[in-house]
Amino acid sequence: MSVPSTFLREFDWSSTPLGPRAAWSPALTTIYEMMLASPFAMCAGWGSELTLLYNDAYMDFLAGRHPAALGQPIKAVWHDIWTDIAPLIDQALAGKEVKITDLHLVMTRKGYEENTYWTFAYSPLRDGATVAGFLDIAIETTESVLAGQRRDTAEIALRQQNSTLKQEVAAGTAARDLFAVLIEHLPVGVSLLDANGQILVANPTFRTFLPGEPLPSRMREGTGVERWLAYDAHGQRLPPNQYPGARALRGELVMPGVEFRFQPEHGPEIWTAVSGVPLKDASTGQVSNAIVVLQDIDAQKRALEVAHANAERLQNALAAGAIIGTWFWDLPSDRFTVDEAFATAFGLDPALGRDGIPLAQIVATVHPDDQAGLAEAINEVIARGGPYAHQYRVRRRDGRYYWLEANGHVEHGPNGTPLRFPGVLLDIGVRRLDAALAVLSERLRTLETPQAMALAAAETVGMTLGLSRAAYGEVDAKARKVILAQDWLASGQQSAAGEHTFAAYGTYIQALKRGADVAIEDVTTDPRTAAQALNFQHLDIRALANLPLMEQGHLKVIFCLHASQPHAWTSDELAFARRVMERTEVEIARRSADAEVLDGAERLRLVIEGASDHAILTTDPHGIITSWSAGAQAIFGWSADEIVGQPARVIFTPEDQAAGAPTRELATAREHGCANDERWHATKSGGRVFMNGSVRPLPPDPQGRERGFMKIARDETERRRAHAELQELNATLEQRVAERTADRNSLWQLSSDLMLRCTFQGVMTAVNPAWTEVLGWREDELLGRTIFEFIHPDDVAHTIEGAQASSEGHAYSRFENRYRCKDDSYRWISWSTSPADGLINAVGRDATADKEQAQALEITAEALRQSQKMEAVGQLTGGVAHDFNNLLTIIRSSVDFLRRPQLPDDRKARYLDAVSDTVDRAAKLTGQLLAFARRQSLRPEVFDVGARLRGVGDMLDTVTGARVQVTIEAPDEPCFIHADVSQFETALINMAVNARDAMDGEGHLILRLACGAHLPPIRGHAGSASSFAAVSVIDTGSGIAPDQLGRIFEPFFTTKEVGKGTGLGLSQVFGFAKQSGGDVDVASVSGQGTTFTLYLPEVAAPAQVKETDADTPPAPVATGQRVLVVEDNVEVGRFCTQILDDLGYATDWATTGEEALLKLGHDGAGFDAVFSDVVMPGMGGITLAETLRDRLPGLPVVLTSGYSHILAQQADHGFELLHKPYSAEQLARVLQRVMQPAVHLFGRAVSSR
């Protein structure tokens, strides 16, 4: 260039319409600096006169018009071609992108007319929202176009030799040699083809592309045809039959050439242009030969692509505001200048930036970790020259580091000396965030668990934003705590994993509950967190950002971001973290959905098989049927064996086949993802059915290859046939609407069900007369009032929730609540509701009778269970009486001997031990009987079935009698089940009684337990491979007749004589087994015996309970503590007070609960404990204890009872309970436990329990 670029940079613009550069708008300044930094030729027109600006590379285009052209109106500069370029500039000023290739312009730029050719890319330039000018990226293509014209001239010359050449070609080798001589040194590739497309002659340039192969249009698959791809003027791929050679042989002249993208075996791809010229026989007029001309256009094609890419990049940067500023470095003088935008971004003096600033001052703003890499990149580009691009972090005037990209170009002089280094700085912060998000997206696809995905998301945000910690936190149901299961940590940071209460870290939880992001730059100064700064300090948190994830309006998860230094959170950073969180949640949800899809594969198969009115079929990519549903067979008539492997067109009608509908349908589905299929189809029988559905591509295989299509269509033949009837009915629509309205009004008036319309706030707007009949309220007493005025207080909250759900679009098919009648009674109403038009429409049925019937049925069922138990208890009564008489005999005899004087001490001890042991045996027997007979609802619990089996075995002797030998076979290892203990014992007793009766009171009864058994198929029900406890009751009785085995579990079925059985025993066994998740099986041989086997699911062992030490020393004697005894039985009360006196307690005695309250008064009257019976006249023991707990909460109460139905029903009363019969030692120990440790209140000792 004749004038250095310093002329452009130092040009005085004050004399131009643009005015001095200091007054330029930021947009114009940025555009001009960008142009000066670009190695590509650019010019711009700005302002009302389109004042011309240009860069170094553009000066050569101006020739003698530079430098006078700078700052002049472009119309004056390019006056000789203005009529040609003015329309293009007008389009750019109208906001359009204009691209034109090889435009012919006659210029006088050098003082004479010359033919030139140009490729332009015009773009609008905006100052704010207004188009203020245009940008032109220009490439002169004169040389390439002239080369093409020389090629065309050669082609024309070749055509002029047509007739002669044909004769020479026909003559043989001599003519071909002549043609070869003519084309030998042409700058383009030329070949001569025969009528079959075979290459007869080709010059060296042509053979560099096709050294020995046929033309691409004649190539076969796998022989190189895939390396030649042709495109039309719109960039669309052309098939081989549209290649120039093939078209020329059909008689077409193909000029200008078709563009090909050629991929050599080695090296990069090359763009070429190929033309075709037909040669016809003069006598026949038929094409006898063709000439194919090939030109290498790769350089100009790629130059144009680069120009377009640079124009687009510039426009994107301008639109996004990504350009921070520009620089110019004059390398010989080492003068580094920056524009005003650059200086402002780094807090520099703009004047200093224009005059020159030390490069070291700029480098000082670069992040220390990036300075070495930047220096290496700068030295490298200065040494080699050419384009430059490098990314690094710099500290801007706000003190924070930002990611930038520097783009520039180093220009060398003729001798290789570095001269100039202009460039532009781009803000790539957002681009880096997008790149990090893209990397995370790929990484998430490789992770298996939600926990791993959450940690990857935290790591991505933490590392990208330079944080100290990032983590997902689960929020508890009450939104009081957040639980961090894991966290990503920067180097040297401690983990914050664990449970944290929101209250300990500030007052911003309400914002999170509303779904708002919380960003705090410094927790020590922000009013929301300053009071809790010490808690943050322990975790090295100085700045935080919390991003909430809501689910159905409730706070579910928080994305926690922490920085160990103050951090001014930007909107871009928060948006990036939010996008990361959402992308992660989507991937977790997608994995969950994929799992559900896999789990639902069998359900899908069943749906497909059951869709009898839908045809579901799949094809391969070519339309060959690969699967055929049962519904398709039912509709079309072909079976799967007949149709699979056939083309799908067989189900199309002949006219649709002729019109190409089958092929078009697949092409549409392939291109758009779906093709509608609503047409008549052919059936196997020759009939027709009307199908309505769609065709969609199947998902590709794991290698991404196309698998085929799925067609789902519904048979709507009947709908089509009914269409005519519908049109006929439409003629009478008005009449039918009137009739329907009358019917609806009649239904409203005559229905016995309640009908209601109300707002979502419950205000009634319409009711029908049934309200008067059912509830007694008139219409005028209801309208305008809310339904909540009439609803039972216990049902109001439930109804409010239902109204809220209705406002969100939910409809109920069964919603029950109680409404108040006019007589103040209540009735149960079961509603069906549907929201519409801002109201709730509801129909309610009086369900009071159903409720009462259900309650009565439950009472009856409970009575039935109790009767079953009592039947078994009845079986025990005789045996229990016999056992008690035996025990009382031992006690009576021992007492008689103890009364004898001078009885030796050893014999006295023996009789005392006999009395004590006998009492323990009696207590155990009564305890088993009462536990078995207690009346209570089913309460499943985990217990060792072997231990319970042995315990019940101890009672069976009283049931079966002495002539029946009872054997228990149970393993030593525990075997646990989850069932109701009482029902389990009842089932065993019922089976044992049946066995006794079957053996007529004499035989062998075995109770056997097998653990880990499998459940076999029973009575047609499938078995199970899970572990079951198998409890077998085996007898040696008469057995059960085969014809009765199927009925033995029916309620009230019995083979016993009248009065000897209710028939409920085995039905109880059956019901218990089913309720417990198991079953009962029976095997019987007449004359040999029967085996009942109860199968109950095994469960894991419960937590171990620490057993009481059997060698616990005796309780110490009391020291005068006062105990109030409450007992209505005189003998027991007298004996109890005597025991307590002997144990060192001071006692008082009340015979009723009411009397006890009087003795205790309002302050406890100095008593240290109360020992009360449970069952007493008037106030019972539990009521007394509860009253004292409210009145004197520090006074211990101990209850005692042999058995009470109240205790059975209120097992969770919460008081110490001593079972009768009890020993003095047991009584002393329980009193000691409840009275220690103690504090003094109202002048007496009060247990701290």
- 1067: nearest Cα among 1079, 1087, 1053: 1053
CA proximity to 867, closest of 1034, 1100, 1058, 1051: 1051
* Structure confidence at residue 1116 as a pLDDT band (50, 70, 90): low
| pLDDT at residue 1238, rounded to an integer | 42
Let me know: does 294 contact 228? Beta carbons within 8 Å. no
* Distance set, CA 185 to CA 182, 276, 294 (Å): 8, 19, 14
- Predicted local distance difference test score (pLDDT) of residue 721: 76
- The C-alpha atoms of residue 329 and residue 528 are separated, in whole angstroms, by 49
Of 404 and 1029, which is predicted with more confidence?
Answer: 1029
What are the structural domains of the chain? Answer: 1-141 (3.30.450.20), 144-299 (3.30.450.20), 322-427 (3.30.450.20), 448-598 (3.30.450.40), 610-638+645-652+662-715 (3.30.450.20), 734-846 (3.30.450.20), 857-1097 (3.30.565.10), 1122-1247 (3.40.50.2300)
Longest CA pairwise span in the chain (Å): 162
* Least trusted range by pLDDT, from 345-359, 536-550, 748-762, 794-808: 345-359
Q: What is the pLDDT of residues 611-639, one digit of tens each?
A: 567 888 899 999 999 999 888 998 999 99
Lowest mean pLDDT segment, chosen from 182-186, 305-309, 570-574: 305-309
| Rounded-to-integer distance, Cα 1018 and Cα 1016, Å | 6
Write out pLDDT tens, residues 268-295.
Answer: 888 888 888 898 887 888 888 888 888 8
Residue 753 pLDDT > 50 = yes
% of the chain with per-residue pLDDT over 90: 32
Nearest to 691 by CA among 712, 721, 667: 712
**Span 1161-1186, mean pLDDT?**
90
pLDDT tens track for 1035-1046: 999 898 888 887
Half-sphere exposure of 1168 (CA within 13 A, CB side): 20
Tell me the pLDDT tens digit for each residue of 22-68: 888 878 887 888 788 777 788 999 999 999 999 888 898 998 899 89
pLDDT tens sequence across 192-250:
888 888 888 888 888 888 777 677 777 666 566 778 888 887 778 888 888 888 898 99
Which pLDDT belongs to residue 1249? 35
On the question of pLDDT at 399 being above 90, the answer is no
Instruction: Over range 814-843, report the average pLDDT.
Output: 92
Q: How many helices (H) and strands (E) does the chain have?
A: 39, 47
3 state DSSP class of 726: helix
| Residue with the larger pLDDT of the pair 1232 and 727 | 1232
pLDDT value of position 572 = 86
Residue 1110, pLDDT score: 43
Query: Kind and range of the H or E element at 720?
Result: helix 717-730
**What is the pLDDT at residue 379?**
93
Indicate whether 441 pLDDT > 70. Answer: yes
The bridge status of strand 114-127 relative to strand 98-107 is antiparallel
* C-alpha angle 311-315-318 in degrees, rounded to nearest 5: 140
CB 1117 within 8 A of CB 1091: no
Check pLDDT > 80 for residue 791.
yes
The mean pLDDT of 707-725, rounded to a whole number, is 81
Looking at residues 750-763, what average pLDDT do you find?
90
Residue 930 scores a pLDDT above 60: no
**Residue 871's pLDDT band (cuts 50, 70, 90):** low
For residues 244 and 218, the answer to whether their CB atoms sit within 8 Å is no
**Per-residue pLDDT at 365 exceeds 80:** yes
* Alpha-carbon distances, residue 508 vs 475, 511, 523 (angstroms): 14, 6, 12
Task: Give residue 311's identity as a one-letter amino acid code.
Answer: A
Q: What is the mean pLDDT of residues 857-884?
A: 61
Please tell me the distance from the alpha carbon of residue 147 to that of residue 139, in angstroms, as a whole number: 16
d(CA 641, CA 236): 42
Asked if 559 and 546 touch (Cβ cutoff 8 Å), the reply is yes
Q: What is the pLDDT of residues 1059-1115, one digit of tens each?
A: 455 566 777 788 788 878 899 999 998 889 999 999 999 998 886 544 444 445 566
- Residue 100 region, left (φ>0) first, then alpha (ψ -120 to 50), else beta? beta
User: If pLDDT is split at 50, 70 and 90, which confidence band does 462 have?
Assistant: very high
State residue 2's pLDDT score: 35
pLDDT of residue 831: 92
Greater model confidence, 160 or 207: 207
Whether the predicted pLDDT of 578 surpasses 50? yes
Tokens of 944: 């060792």
Q: Which residue has the higher pLDDT, 932 or 1022?
A: 1022
Q: What percent of the chain has pLDDT over 70?
A: 83
Q: Would you state the pLDDT for residue 861?
A: 61
Kindly tell me if the per-residue pLDDT of 152 is higher than 80: no
Q: Are 52 and 69 in contact (CB under 8 A)?
A: yes
Phi, psi angle pair for 1118, to nearest 5° = -70, 170
User: Which residues, in sequence order, are CB contacts of 561 under 8 Å at separation 6+?
Assistant: 461, 462, 465, 467, 469, 470, 544, 545, 546, 547, 577
Task: Supply the pLDDT for residue 128.
Answer: 78
Tokens of 1104: 């171990």
Q: Which residues contact 54 (CB under 8 A, 6 or more apart)?
A: 8, 35, 41, 42, 43, 44, 62, 69, 70
Between CA 93 and CA 558 the distance in angstroms is 50
Mean pLDDT, the chain, integer: 82
First to last CA, the chain: 102
764-775 residues labelled b (16+ CB within 10 A) or e (exposed): beebbbbbeebb
Does residue 882 carry a pLDDT above 80? no
Question: Can you give the pLDDT at residue 630?
Answer: 86
Distance separating alpha carbons of residues 519 and 1213, to the nearest angstrom: 51
